Structure 1
Amino acid sequence: MAVFLNPEEIARNIRDGSTIALTGFGGMGQCDSILRGIRESFLRTGHPRDLTVFHAAGQSDKSNGIEYIAEEGLLRRVIGGHWGLAPKMKRLIEENKIEAYCFPQGQLTHLFRTMASGMPGQLSRIGLGTFVDPRKEGGKFNEKAKEKEDLVTLVTIEDEEFLFYKSIPIDYVFIRGTTIDEDGNMASEEEALKLEVLSAAQAVRAHGGTVVAQIKYVASKGTLHPKDVTVPGYLIDFINVAKFPEKDHRQIPSTAYNPVFSGNTKGPSQNLEMLPMSIRKIIGRRAIREMPESAVANIGIGIPGDVIGPILHEESLQSNIVLTLESGIIGGVPLGENQFGIAHNPDAILDHEYLFDYYHGTGVDIAFMGAAEVDTSGNVNVSKFGNRITGCGGFIDITQPAKKVIFCTTFTGGGLNVAIRDCQLEIVQEGTIKKFVKGVSQITFSGEYAYNHHKEIIYVTERAVFVLTKEGLVLKEIAPGIDLRKDILGHMEFTPIIDENLKLMDIRFFSEKTMVKTPS
């Protein structure tokens, strides 16, 4: 029978040197009450300490989640997918205060299931040719990790290469739900996402570990609908009822609870505002031109997550398109920025790990992803730049098996400013950072792998559009008002192949009007 404990009591139960697992996604689904309690215990007593943290998705929106326990001494090692919105954790990794391993988010969600089955590890093609491949970096994300053991190895089965992600025995897992009944059965009716809570709980139990649940409400025995139970009571050991749910159990960063985001009601979609004209909107408009008439699509964090969904909505183009987010969201209008991973009026909310089954096995028809660096071979880096780290998230899981990938990025970074006059693009201030480089700092997407597996790869910026070929990148389009040599070739570290039929980008991408209307 599960025992109710406060955060201080939970912290006292965690042994030094343990491995803990976290579930959550960005600013959603974290057990902030428990994590805050662990931090307070460590600062007061020095315990628990030297913990290993295992997590799949990013676990913070810059202030919550994993940030509470990002303390030198409290942590020894982290194995995760993304830290882009976790500045304290990033600093620990960058300064080599802890060991850091970065693996694809989908592989980590599936590793929970693998461990739940008592298997020694997870076999997958995902990661071949990228920094995760042990022939490159093996997912070791800082110098301190390079001194330690390999957690991914290369194996060959019937002449085909696979990566083997080793199981990581877990001592404690923190999962979150909305309501728990007197038998310990947990439901998630107000949560914006289902995540991988069941798989994580079963993985920990398979190792003889402890499952801790944070919830908002306690219900009488037998009052939860059986289909609403996300984790049955026999899997849960400790329960923490969040004392201040408006702070420590928020549904999403911007609100304590809105039924629209959990699918408990539908909000009026006509009230969604039209995106103002911007450099990101130009990129998003050109990107959706690549969308098939009927497709299952994925959009990633950054420019795609911020603009693709809203543009499809305002152009009334979403009727034959199934938009998916790696968090488990199907349909609706995705939110961006630090609330990436949820949608306004979703059609379905799936378990996190099961959507990755689809990505890995079938591959979406089209994926829209960001890019921080692109090189002459079509490789893309989104994960690490020198000592500055972000992580790969679900990027590799999605882009590697996708049938078509559209990378969306500004042409330069660091202060880029543009103006649009009469549907002509003008560079007011050029960015100080070149994004099209001779060789990327880290391979998060392998151009060679994509070409060899017959993928269609397109790179869309506000002023130029490239495609991947066997010979390298080919420049296919430039924006109206842009000078080829001054504004494009002059800001690349390599010279792309120039298509003999080089075209201008459609002027409708640069108009204040919707694209279905032709600018006068």
Structure 2
Amino acid sequence: MSTSKVISADEAIARIGEGAVVTTTGFVQSCIPEALHAALEKRFVETGAPRDLTLIMCAGAGDSKGLGTGRLHHEGLLKRVIAANFGRMPKVAQAAQEDKIQGYNLPQGVISKLYRSCASGSPGLFTRVGLHTYVDPRLGGGKVNTKTKEDLVKLVEVDGKEWLFYKATPINVALIRATSADPLGNLSMEREALTLDVLAQAMAAHNNGGIVIAQVERIVAEGSIKPKDVKVPGILVDCVVVADPPEMHRMNYGVMYDPGLAGEVRVTVDSLPTMEFDERKIIARRASFELPPNGVINLGVGAPDGVANVANEEKVTPYLVMTTEAGAVGGVLAGGSSFGSSANAHSILDQNQMFDFYHGGGLDLTCLGMAECDSLGNVNTSKFGGKLNGCGGFIDISQNARAVVFAGTFTAGGLQVAIEDGKLRIVKEGRARKFVKQVEQVTFSGQYAAQKAQPVIYVTERCVFQLTDHGLELIEVAPGIDIDRDILAHMAFKPHIHSPVTMNPRIFVNQPMDLLADLLNKNLKDRVSFDSEQKILNLDLEGWSVRKKADIADLKKVIVDACEAIGGRVNVVINQASCRIAEDLYDEYADMVAYVTKHHYGRSARYATSALTRQKLLEALRRRGLDTHVFANAAEAYGFLQRQAAE
């Protein structure tokens, strides 16, 4: 490498021209090229240049207090921002809200993949991500203020289906980060927690005739980096800056360096801290009952990231594959300043590759936070309370995961609860309602999800709702909670209420929940009993959940084994009171019923207290040609069988 490539941060930043389009890397508080951001801020404050930059970035990259991209708030430095998250740079967000700069808030995965569009010379990206949200041109096109005029998102139709086309913005400068650089400019990332989009960003800038500035921790000898360990080849790199002082190259703002998060060592998961037994843990414990064994899962920041801790405590982590949109696959997901990373990760993908996986439907479940929710099941996490936070990867993930759990406290701002004798008591209610008449901005469309039969539930510390064709239905209530006093009195709308059940009491006792047994349906056989006098097989599915296809397979095996043990066909009564079947699994469940009806059942009758459940069951079973009955209670079901036997 010529000596001109290894230069100071000030010298590198001096190469950025007026009006340039600059992209930078970083995820929340990790992998941020802090020395480059600081040098850019210093140059502008001292010289007033460069002016009118366009900043393109994916997730927020800062501490929300002025570091990272928060350094770029000075008036005149930025003209336009295209970002998934504004919350990590509040003064920049404020400038956008005050119409001082142009701003676009686009999905994180879309921006991540647009880097590849820029690198390959493509005009943009076709995707369905963002339909029926505020990114949809019919709902604003992702523009954050009236100053922003250009349309970067267009609605198009392909083969009779709606798609969005996101326009790519050519990039002039890429600010990236790696661990080591060799004399040829090759970059490796051995001490980084994530790889993010550094290769795609570098290629996008280079192929547009721009410059690539890489911040590194050290310079190593030529040949030190194995070819397969080179993340960004030297042909793409124009400037290398060694971070000085070393604090400018922290792994994240809370951790100087953690070899476990870098994948250099394996850590003992038993040493990971446990969560305090409070409302946040209650939420995480309830959400954990939705985890699909052998499934691929994404967890959001805040209350949802507690699910990883609960899974670890309950020893179910080996049966799951947790992921983050930042690229971590497997292991125990980290929280706090290390959010996005993973201890003992199986692998680290580039961020754009992870979003390929997410957009293509690879996620079995996601658990995400919620700031506002309305009666239609719409969720807002992007703009609320007078603040422009941004969507991050929320839209990419929530629209494409097979099932969604939204998790968060019922109210916000000062909420205090007590957990006593297995019951929840609201000590002090939060100041702000989260269940509102209409969300300020649609980050997740409940109606669109319902149209797609996407299973969605909303978990709080005191109750659980599920999404239906008609909006939110209250399905579970915590022990000790009064529906009128503690739930309806603090909502701006009344949800559908049929037959809510009590949340699992194990959630509210500070000891292991034996979660693994539930997730693997180990106790499902205990729900089957045979009345030898009446010659009736009783199947008690009260409160049981069909969350995934494997649940149906497990139930089918239990039924078949019981019938074969009895010998011959057997009359059956099925209790489906408060039995929740995921919206997209009704037909598969009906297929299972059709099979056991054809091969094992004599007469059958089922009952469910919820009229909505009865209706859905009847519709699904009749689509399979089953002339079945779903009664309102046990007496009607047993009476039906008795009348049938007497005829």
Deviations 1:255-306 (A, max 9, x none): 221211110111121111221201010001111111123211110111112x
Seen in structure 2, the aligned counterparts of structure 1 residues 314 and 386 have a Cα distance that, compared at 3 Å, is closer
* Counterpart residue number, 1:162: 163
Moved more, 253-262 or 351-360: 253-262
Moved more, 62-71 or 174-183: 62-71
User: Map of 1:207-218 to 2, 5 A cutoff?
Assistant: 207-218=208-219
For 2:300, the aligned partner's letter is G
Q: How far did 1:381 drift?
A: 0.3
For 2:154, the aligned partner's letter is T
Moved more, 247-256 or 35-44: 247-256
Q: How far did 1:175 drift?
A: 0.8
Residues 192 and 251 in structure 1, CA contact (< 8 A), matched pair in contact too: yes
> In structure 2, the residue corresponding to 1:202 is in which secondary structure?
helix
Seen in structure 2, the aligned counterparts of structure 1 residues 293 and 258 have a Cα distance that, compared at 3 Å, is closer
Deviations 1:54-100 (A, max 9, x none): 01111112242101222111111110001223222222223332111
* Counterpart residue number, 1:506: 504
> In structure 2, the residue corresponding to 1:358 is in which secondary structure?
helix
C-alpha separation between the residues in 2 aligned to 1:11 and 1:516?
Answer: 56
Moved more, 84-93 or 156-165: 84-93
C-alpha separation between the residues in 2 aligned to 1:217 and 1:11?
Answer: 19
Deviations 1:347-366 (A, max 9, x none): 21111110111100124111
Moved more, 469-478 or 382-391: 382-391
Residues 172 and 204 in structure 1, CA contact (< 8 A), matched pair in contact too: yes
For 2:55, the aligned partner's letter is V
User: Map of 1:199-278 to 2, 5 A cutoff?
Assistant: 199-245=200-246, 247-278=247-278
* Counterpart residue number, 2:128: 125
1:113 paired to 2:116: yes
C-alpha separation between the residues in 2 aligned to 1:472 and 1:442?
Answer: 17
Structure 2 unmatched runs, 5+: 518-647
Moved more, 202-211 or 108-117: 202-211
1:338 paired to 2:370: no
1:418 paired to 2:420: no
Deviations 1:205-261 (A, max 9, x none): 22111111111111111221111100000000111111212x211112222212111
C-alpha separation between the residues in 1 aligned to 2:338 and 2:189?
Answer: 19
1:95 paired to 2:93: no
Deviations 1:160-183 (A, max 9, x none): 111111010111001110000001
* Counterpart residue number, 2:540: none
For 1:54, the aligned partner's letter is I
Deviations 1:7-58 (A, max 9, x none): 2212221111111001111111111111111111111110111111001111
Q: How far did 1:502 drift?
A: 1.4
Residues 11 and 48 in structure 1, CA contact (< 8 A), matched pair in contact too: no
Residues 27 and 64 in structure 1, CA contact (< 8 A), matched pair in contact too: no
C-alpha separation between the residues in 2 aligned to 1:486 and 1:426?
Answer: 11
1:317 paired to 2:316: yes
Residues 363 and 398 in structure 1, CA contact (< 8 A), matched pair in contact too: no
* Counterpart residue number, 1:21: 23
1:280 paired to 2:272: no
Residues 375 and 438 in structure 1, CA contact (< 8 A), matched pair in contact too: yes
* Counterpart residue number, 1:35: 37
> In structure 2, the residue corresponding to 1:316 is in which secondary structure?
coil
> In structure 2, the residue corresponding to 1:114 is in which secondary structure?
helix
C-alpha separation between the residues in 1 aligned to 2:274 and 2:335?
Answer: 14
Q: How far did 1:157 drift?
A: 1.1
Residues 96 and 143 in structure 1, CA contact (< 8 A), matched pair in contact too: yes
C-alpha separation between the residues in 2 aligned to 1:248 and 1:292?
Answer: 40
RMSD: 1.4
C-alpha separation between the residues in 1 aligned to 2:248 and 2:242?
Answer: 10
For 2:337, the aligned partner's letter is N
The correspondence for 2:76, drawn from 69, 73, 78, is 73
* Counterpart residue number, 2:147: 144
> In structure 1, the residue corresponding to 2:317 is in which secondary structure?
coil
C-alpha separation between the residues in 1 aligned to 2:14 and 2:186?
Answer: 24
Q: How far did 1:343 drift?
A: 1.7
Matched residues, number: 513
* Counterpart residue number, 2:513: 515
> In structure 1, the residue corresponding to 2:125 is in which secondary structure?
strand
Q: How far did 1:346 drift?
A: 1.5
> In structure 1, the residue corresponding to 2:231 is in which secondary structure?
strand
Residues 317 and 332 in structure 2, CA contact (< 8 A), matched pair in contact too: no
For 1:241, the aligned partner's letter is V
Q: How far did 1:511 drift?
A: 1.3
> In structure 2, the residue corresponding to 1:459 is in which secondary structure?
strand
> In structure 1, the residue corresponding to 2:259 is in which secondary structure?
coil
Q: How far did 1:386 drift?
A: 5.6
Q: How far did 1:314 drift?
A: 0.4
Q: How far did 1:338 drift?
A: 3.1
C-alpha separation between the residues in 2 aligned to 1:190 and 1:442?
Answer: 39
C-alpha separation between the residues in 1 aligned to 2:359 and 2:228?
Answer: 27
* Counterpart residue number, 2:346: 347
Residues 81 and 393 in structure 1, CA contact (< 8 A), matched pair in contact too: yes
* Counterpart residue number, 1:302: 302
The sequence identity of aligned pairs, in percent, is 44
Moved more, 84-93 or 155-164: 84-93
> In structure 1, the residue corresponding to 2:261 is in which secondary structure?
coil
TM-score relative to the length of structure 2: 0.78
C-alpha separation between the residues in 1 aligned to 2:348 and 2:279?
Answer: 31
Residues 458 and 466 in structure 2, CA contact (< 8 A), matched pair in contact too: yes
* Counterpart residue number, 1:481: 480
Residues 509 and 515 in structure 1, CA contact (< 8 A), matched pair in contact too: yes
For 2:427, the aligned partner's letter is V
* Counterpart residue number, 2:88: 85
Q: How far did 1:202 drift?
A: 0.9
> In structure 2, the residue corresponding to 1:230 is in which secondary structure?
coil
> In structure 1, the residue corresponding to 2:116 is in which secondary structure?
helix
Residues 19 and 172 in structure 1, CA contact (< 8 A), matched pair in contact too: yes
Deviations 1:295-325 (A, max 9, x none): 11110111112x1111000010112111001
For 2:194, the aligned partner's letter is L
C-alpha separation between the residues in 1 aligned to 2:192 and 2:282?
Answer: 34
Residues 31 and 248 in structure 1, CA contact (< 8 A), matched pair in contact too: yes
C-alpha separation between the residues in 1 aligned to 2:226 and 2:91?
Answer: 40
1:365 paired to 2:368: no
* Counterpart residue number, 2:624: none
Q: How far did 1:153 drift?
A: 0.7
User: Map of 1:378-397 to 2, 5 A cutoff?
Assistant: 378-385=377-384, 387-397=386-396
Larger RCO: 1 or 2 (CA < 8 Å, sep 6+): 1
* Counterpart residue number, 2:197: 196
C-alpha separation between the residues in 2 aligned to 1:514 and 1:271?
Answer: 17
For 1:346, the aligned partner's letter is A
Deviations 1:87-128 (A, max 9, x none): 222222233321110000000010000111101111000000
